Amino acid sequence: MLYKGSCHCGKVAFEVKGEIGGAVRCNCSICRRKGALLWAVPHEKLNLVAWGDDLGRYTFGKRQIAHRFCRTCGMHPFAEDVGEGDGRTAYININCLDDVDITAIEVFEFDGRSA
């Protein structure tokens, strides 16, 4: 299935292909504060439609994940592995997807604080 999503103001927009089998609620310091529900997909399934200079990047700790955000409205629509090549993962914040019934998606807890 093709999902469309964006930040709040729409300056960062994307499409992602796949089936949402569940979402992860991570308790690391940034995910807990953002309140994101993350769906992991192969990076090549994520297609940025609009971003320009509005797509910011924030890394911390081991700097393995780039947390992406809109510089205008501050929303965090997705994150991604910082590595190069095949096997990269994108972590879509399903709260930023259009027409998704969040209550119908199983949520798994992840102890990112200890990872």
Mean pLDDT of 86-105: 94
Residue-wise pLDDT tens digits, 18-36? 999 999 999 988 889 989 9
Q: Is the pLDDT higher at 108 or at 53? A: 108
Label residue 113 by pLDDT band (50, 70, 90): confident
Q: Is the pLDDT higher at 52 or at 11? A: 11
State residue 98's pLDDT score: 97
Q: Provide the pairing of β-strand 38-42 with 89-93.
A: antiparallel
Task: Write the CATH number of the domain with boundaries 2-110.
Answer: 2.170.150.70
Q: Is the pLDDT higher at 84 or at 113? A: 113
| SS3 assignment for the chain | CEEEEECCCCCCEEEEECCCCCEEEECCHHHHHHCCCEEEEEHHHEEEEECHHHEEEECCCCCCEEEEEECCCCCCCEEEECCCCCCCEEEEEHHHECCCCHHHCCEEEECCCCC
**Size (the chain), residues:** 115
Residue-wise pLDDT tens digits, 22-81? 999 999 888 899 899 999 999 999 999 998 888 999 988 777 889 999 999 999 999 998
